[in-house]
Amino acid sequence: MTRTSRALITASCLVAASTLVSASIPGGLAEWGKEVGTELYKQGYNIRDLQKDFEALSPDDKGNDPNFPPGPSPLPSACAEHPDQCDQCGFESALADLQATRYRLEKLRRVYASTKSFVGRSLAIGDSMAGSAGVGGLAWVDQRLKIEQSFKGVQTAYDNKYTELMASLKKSLESLAKCEEQVYGEKDWYERYGFMYYEFMSSRYQRAD
Amino acid sequence: MRAWRTVLPPTLLVLAGLLAAPAPAAAQGAGRPDEATALTLERVPGVERAKMAGLETDTKQGGDRYSVQDLDIMQPVAVRLRAIDPSQTVRLEVVKGEWTNVYRNCSTNGATPCEVRFRTEGNFGLQVTSPAGAGVRYELGVYVGDEMQLVPANLVVPPKDAGQAARGGLGLANILLGVIAVALVGLLLLVGWSVLRKRNQEAS
């Protein structure tokens, strides 16, 4: 949620004016915070530890946990076996871009899923309040329409980001293919491996609703 | 990406606050106030890679409600509750979506604080109550770590690690199966040819 939203919520009297800040954090809590941080950032603490120690709160959250699909199969690469020989063609850089794009696509998926769920719950509450109060029903209909239209804006934002990230994914795969060709003479790496992975990712992250 | 939510209209943002509050009837039934206090997370000196919020206050009749917003699922969250007077008990509930959706809870035990840890995407709410009702002093702390980056497993691997099938070749098992299949077909053809030959000889 943004500062704007907090301000609006405050204005609607749903949030008490006495919003709390860290200046009031008692010393004992700061010490506790340091202890939690020490556990979290100790050597060797990894994502699996995090997922075990800090389990997802709700069933929806479990669905939001990052899940990086391996694709139809791993992408075999001679450059991956001898990355030093592929330095000149930017193999490591293309690989890093590919990984970063995968991460961003997964984040895009979960932010969208969470926003969609949030909007759905908001509409349900608005509907129930408008129905039970018996007043302001027409005003709610108007507001509901605005929310739905705004959510379409969110969907457009998703689609734009998806297009941008898929283009980035393709570029990374083509860069890897170029390396395989330049260094090892593998001329159809993209067609044999990259294309299938691209199609797989395209289908996985395309918005279904 | 999180900025998407800024395109949502004010009504929806107000409703976001309602999400952290129960329906009016439920609120009246529980005797609780309709408002939740949004906790502002801030950096605390000495606590690295995290933000915190904390307070010390007294319970109100019906309990106290707080909300924490704009979280990523990869941010570790820890919440700690302590009764200032060890002879008193305070109870913590962590909710999401609606105040009735309690996903974690704990109670203090004497001087021992209670703590819950979890991860969530978006918002969550906290409810603090005491069996003694109003006027029980407590300390509440919320720790939210920075987003932990999960590096995806590497997809691009040396051919020897990609598996024979991925390289378009034939695995040893597949080769053996192929040889067995060819041998069986050959055997059947041979038997069939022998039978036909024998019949032809008998006929002539």
- Shared domain check, A121 and A177: yes
How many C-beta neighbours within 10 Å does residue B63 have? Answer: 21
Judge if A30 and A133 occupy the same domain: no
What's the pLDDT at A20?
Answer: 46
State the Cα–Cα distance between residues B28 and A131, nearest whole angstrom.
Answer: 18
- Residue B63's pLDDT is 94
Helix (H, G, I), strand (E, B) or coil at B71: strand
Overall domain count for chain A: 2
**d(C-alpha B84, C-alpha B67), whole Å:** 22
Q: What is the reported pLDDT for A140?
A: 86
Q: Indicate the residue of B12, B37, B104 with minimum beta-carbon distance to A18.
A: B37
Give the start-to-end residue ranges of the domains of chain B: 2-145, 163-203
What is the rounded CA–CA span in Å between residue B154 and residue A96?
10
Q: Which residue segment(s) compose the domain that A144 sits in? A: 82-209
CA distance B110 to B203: 104
Mean pLDDT, contiguous 10-residue spans, chain B (204 residues): 48 48 34 73 92 95 94 95 96 93 96 96 95 96 91 87 54 62 84 84 76
Residue for token digits 């606050």?
A: B17
pLDDT score for B91: 97
For A34, counting Cβ atoms within 10 Å of its Cβ (0-12 exposed, 13-18 middle, 19+ buried), the class is middle
**Domain final residue, candidates A5, A38, A55:** A55
Contact B60, B75 (CB under 8 A): no
Could A15 and B17 be called an inter-chain contact, meaning their C-beta atoms sit closer than 8 Å? yes
Q: Is residue A113 part of a domain?
A: yes
Examine the domain organization and report whether A160 and A104 are in the same domain. Answer: yes
The pLDDT of residue A28: 85
Closest CA to A47 of A69, A65, A71, A74: A65
- Residues B136, A80: Cα–Cα separation, whole Å: 62
All residues of chain B having their beta carbon less than 8 Å from the beta carbon of residue A68 are 150, 152-153
Question: Are A93 and A172 in the same domain?
Answer: yes
CA distance A32 to A22: 14
**Domain edge (last residue) among A55, A73, A101:** A55
Give domain status of residue A77, yes or no: no
**Res B192: pLDDT:** 84
In the prediction, which pLDDT does A133 show?
61
| First-last CA distance in chain B | 87
Specify whether A203 is located in the same domain as A130.
yes
Domain contains A15: no
* Contact predicate A55/A160, CB 8 Å: no
Query: Which residue type sits at A99?
Result: Q
Q: What is the pLDDT of residue B125?
A: 96
Question: Cβ of B69 under 8 Å from any chain A Cβ?
Answer: yes
Would you identify the CATH topology of the domain B2-145? Jelly Rolls (2.60.120)
What is the H or E stretch that residue A180 is in?
helix A137-184
- pLDDT for residue B187: 86
- Residue from A8, A10, A25 to probe the interface with B (highest B Cβ count within 10 Å): A25
Q: Is A35 in the same domain as A89?
A: no
Nearest to B43 by CA among A50, A21, A35: A21
Do A51 and A88 reside in the same domain of the chain?
A: no
Please report which helix (H) or strand (E) contains residue A34, including its range: helix A27-40
Whether pTM exceeds 0.80 = no
Which ipTM did the prediction report? 0.72
The answer on A47 and A93 residing in a single domain is: no
- Nearest CA-CA distance, residue B33 and chain A, Å: 10
Q: How many CA atoms lie within 13 A of B29 on its CB side?
A: 7
Please give chain A's pLDDT, 209 residues, in tens. Answer: 333 333 333 323 333 334 444 446 777 899 999 999 998 888 778 888 898 999 999 998 998 888 887 777 789 999 999 888 898 899 999 999 999 999 999 999 998 998 898 899 889 888 888 776 665 677 888 889 999 999 999 999 999 999 999 999 999 999 999 999 999 999 999 999 999 999 999 999 999 88
The interface residues of chain B toward chain A in range 124-143, judged by CB-CB distance below 8 A, are 124, 139, 141, 143
